[in-house]
Amino acid sequence: MLSADLAGYVIEKKFKSKKNNVFLLNSGQLGVKYEYLVYKEFSCTNRMQKEIEMLSMLKDNGLPVPEILVIGKDYIALEYLEGNLLLDCYCDLESNDGYSSKPLHESAYHFIDALCSWFKNFYKVVRDITGKSIIMGDVNFRNFIFKDIIYGIDFEECREGSIEEEIGSLCAFALTYDPSFTVWKTTMVSELQRIFTEELNLDKKLLKKEVDNQLLFLARIRGRSSTGILPKA
Ligand SMILES: Nc1ncnc2c1ncn2[C@@H]1O[C@H](COP(=O)(O)OP(=O)(O)O)[C@@H](O)[C@H]1O
Ligand SMILES: [Mg+2]
């Protein structure tokens, strides 16, 4: 499976992925620059081109994203970011704070601020470079890694769209990770909306509408209701 560029590397583990085949590769050599690599084999070459284009542009403009090390026919090899998935940080934060806890602790505000700063920088760079309102397109919490700061890792679904739509989607994910709609999560998301609205200058009403739309969307794709309202077929 591996190309000559990656000769010597062996598969250490397969990452959870719904869209592609993503592996952690090990060089077997301690202390070398790229002891580990991430190998991402794409199911769609158009998406691979989009990911390369976005990762390169973001890296060139100083955003925290992994470096592309090898480009193959249907895969890329990336710098391995040895940190925690944002999803794990989020779940740990809630379990440490308490599922019914309200108001939020300081660490929850640090989480919101770090995420807000990622999105602020992302939207600024893409707007400055392309002149368009480009969004990430898939903001599930497995697409970010926390390693001192937040890194974005998945850009194959980047497209034009509204920021309210994207932050609405972020809120819908934040509300529905298991256990969904806890007191902590609803408090967290209402603070997230307040802070993002202020920092990114969002339309408050539109954002609320988008959160509802995105909850219904998630309910539909997950085949069950995330809102308590049964989705239409
Ligand atoms: N550069 C990286 N460093 C560390 N882990 C990564 C990196 N890229 C991907 N991963 C891991 O692989 C998973 C899937 O990668 P992702 O780029 O989101 O592909 P997919 O399109 O399949 O969702 C991520 O959730 C993460 O756990
Ligand atoms: Mg992903």
Sequential pLDDT tens for the chain (233 residues): 445 578 889 999 999 998 899 999 999 988 888 999 999 999 999 999 999 999 999 999 999 999 999 999 999 999 999 999 999 999 999 999 999 988 899 999 999 999 999 999 999 999 999 999 999 999 999 999 998 899 999 999 999 999 999 999 999 999 999 999 999 999 999 999 999 999 999 999 999 999 999 999 999 998 864 454 443 33
- Residue 228 covered by a domain: no
Binding site membership of 86 for ligand 1 (Cβ less than 6 Å) = no
Residue to mutate (ligand 1; options 23, 25, 40, 173; most atoms within 8 A of CB): 40
Of 79, 97, 119, which marks where a domain is finished?
A: 79
Distance between CA atoms of 114 and 124, rounded to whole angstroms? Answer: 16
Residue 103 Cα to ligand 2 midpoint, Å, equals 31
Number of domains in the chain: 2
- Residue 227 covered by a domain: no
- Residue 215 covered by a domain: yes
CATH number for the domain that contains residue 58: 3.30.200.20
Of 79, 108, 136, which marks where a domain is finished?
A: 79
pTM of the predicted structure, to 2 decimals: 0.93
- Residue 233 covered by a domain: no
Binding site membership of 54 for ligand 1 (Cβ less than 6 Å) = no
Atom 21 (ligand 1) nearest CA: 19
Residue 51 CA: nearest ligand 1 atom is 17
Binding site membership of 17 for ligand 1 (Cβ less than 6 Å) = yes
Binding site membership of 78 for ligand 1 (Cβ less than 6 Å) = yes
Q: Specify whether 159 is located in the same domain as 208.
A: yes
